[in-house]
């Protein structure tokens, strides 16, 4: 009898013990999960703020805001453009800090850890031209902005590689995180007939940046580049005119033809409203880069992060250069192929070309609503 009561009590107490044990384990489990969540969330917040600083390369004190981004998904990782050394030291400059690698694996590892999943997107913005007007300078300057990521080299998708498809194009774009603009520049897009329609089909909202320069100096620049690759090149004057006199301009010669901007612009305006195009003066980009970059940032809906503090004028090169960029943390200018010495061209030939371009320039001013005041 006593034995049975004892056994019964024992049963009861071991059941209570078991219940207590289960309750304890549950409590410990929930408390652990809660703390783990709290810790993860705190560490994510901390990492995100670190990341923002990491991406604000040129000026760590500046905060950046984002703007439009594309509704597509395509892109590549391309090499950053070559840059040459500055030939003179800038007057005053902020201390050069070593910069983190933008495309380096650790950064993307860090992004993924935060669940930010950087991905490649089709460009929201294209620099479509005009060749030899300062397109490289524009790209290098605007990509100082932490919310702009650009393909380093010209992708030539819409003119040469269109058959490869948008997937191919997307894989040539850089990785971006939410809020960053993807940009690409290929100057031949402006003059290639099929390109406006192709860009329109990719994204009707694509923003288009066009750098333009006095078509006569542009033609000489184009010629200078071609001559640098061909030692037996004829003189500019022989190529720009038909039959050796200055009477008839050779409008079939590429360097001359490209300068008839109005003709090409009309094709773009069949597909895009003027409000989606921004014209940048190549001359002013040299004289006052901060001003032009300010306009570009406004147009793209970006905070004005890139300012005069980023530039210095290199007297030896005769061009604005950068204190630091995405590619380099020390002062530097664009490469040797940018800002070449032009050959001497007969003044009469220049005058004749100016006369030739005048009506086309006027038409261009009329279409854009901007008087570039080319001579």
Ligand X SMILES: Nc1ncnc2c1ncn2[C@@H]1O[C@H](COP(=O)(O)OS(=O)(=O)O)[C@@H](OP(=O)(O)O)[C@H]1O
**Residue list, annotated binding site for 3'-phosphoadenylyl sulfate:** 132-136, 213, 221, 338-342
Give the residue, chosen from 64, 70, 76, 135, that forms a contact with ligand X under the rule CB under 6 A: 135
27-35, 230-238, 296-304, 332-340 -> range binding ligand X (CB under 6 A): 332-340
Both structure tokens of 58? 């040129």
Residue 344 near residue 220, CB atoms below 8 Å = no
Cα-Cα-Cα-Cα dihedral sign, residues 217, 218, 219, 224: positive
Instruction: Identify the active-site residue in 132, 185, 207, 324.
Output: 132
Is 207 a known active-site residue?
A: no
Both structure tokens of 349? 């030939």
**HSE of 25 in the Cβ direction (CA atoms, 13 Å)?**
6
Under the binding rule (CB under 6 A), the answer on residue 192 touching ligand X is: no
- List phi, psi (to 5°) of 83: -135, 150
Under the binding rule (CB under 6 A), the answer on residue 324 touching ligand X is: no
Under the binding rule (CB under 6 A), the answer on residue 215 touching ligand X is: no
* Total number of residues that touch ligand X (CB under 6 A): 19
Give the residue, chosen from 58, 72, 81, 132, that forms a contact with ligand X under the rule CB under 6 A: 132
Residue reference for tokens 């050959």: 343
Site string for ligand X, 339-368 (x = CB under 6 A): xx----------------------------
* Distance in angstroms between the alpha carbons of the first and the last residue of the chain: 121
Under the binding rule (CB under 6 A), the answer on residue 83 touching ligand X is: no
d(CA 268, CA 204): 12
Under the binding rule (CB under 6 A), the answer on residue 136 touching ligand X is: yes
Both structure tokens of 12? 């009861």
Under the binding rule (CB under 6 A), the answer on residue 172 touching ligand X is: no
Q: How far is the CB of 288 from ligand X (least distance, A)?
A: 11
Tell me the Ramachandran region of residue 103: left when phi exceeds 0, alpha when psi lies from -120 to 50, beta otherwise: alpha
Compare residues 285 and 353 and give the one whose CB is closer to ligand X: 285
- Residue numbering of the annotated binding site: 132-136, 213, 221, 338-342
d(CA 160, CA 20): 74
Query: Site residues (CB under 6 A) for ligand X?
Result: 131-137, 187, 221, 224, 285-286, 319-320, 333-334, 338-340
- Catalytic residue IDs: 132
């Amino acid at each position: 009898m006593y034995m049975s009561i004892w056994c019964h009590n024992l049963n009861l107490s071991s059941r209570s013990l078991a219940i207590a044990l289960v309750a304890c384990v549950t409590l410990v489990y929930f408390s652990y999960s809660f703390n783990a969540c709290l810790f993860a969330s705190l560490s994510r917040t901390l990492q995100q703020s670190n990341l923002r600083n990491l991406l604000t390369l040129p000026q760590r004190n500046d905060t950046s805001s984002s703007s439009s981004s594309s509704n597509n998904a395509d892109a590549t990782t391309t090499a950053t453009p070559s840059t040459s050394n500055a030939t003179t030291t800038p007057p005053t400059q902020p201390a050069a800090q070593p910069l983190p690698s933008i495309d380096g694996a650790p950064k993307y590892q860090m992004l993924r850890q935060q669940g930010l999943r950087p991905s490649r997107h089709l460009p929201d913005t294209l620099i479509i031209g005009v060749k030899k007007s300062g397109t490289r300078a524009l790209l290098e300057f605007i990509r100082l902005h932490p919310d702009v990521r650009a393909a380093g080299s010209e992708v030539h998708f819409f003119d040469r590689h269109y058959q490869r498809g948008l997937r191919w194009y997307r894989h040539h774009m850089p990785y971006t995180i939410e809020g960053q603009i993807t940009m690409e520049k290929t100057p031949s897009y402006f003059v290639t007939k099929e390109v406006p329609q192709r860009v329109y089909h990719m994204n009707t909202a694509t923003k288009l940046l066009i750098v333009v320069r006095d078509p006569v100096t542009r033609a000489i620049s184009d010629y200078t580049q071609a001559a640098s690759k061909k030692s037996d090149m004829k003189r500019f004057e022989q190529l720009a005119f038909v039959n050796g006199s200055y009477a008839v301009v050779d409008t079939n010669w590429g360097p001359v033809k490209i300068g008839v901007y109005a003709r090409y612009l009309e094709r773009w305006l069949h597909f895009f409203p003027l409000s989606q195009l921004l014209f940048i003066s190549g001359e002013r980009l040299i004289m006052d880069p901060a001003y032009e970059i300010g306009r570009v940032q406004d147009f793209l809906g970006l905070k004005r992060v890139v300012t005069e503090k980023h530039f210095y004028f290199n007297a030896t090169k005769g061009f604005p250069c950068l204190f630091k960029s995405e590619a380099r943390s020390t002062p530097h200018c664009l490469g040797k192929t940018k800002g070449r010495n032009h050959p001497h061209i007969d003044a009469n030939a220049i005058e004749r070309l100016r006369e030739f371009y005048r009506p086309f320039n006027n038409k261009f001013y009329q279409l854009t609503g901007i008087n570039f005041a080319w001579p």
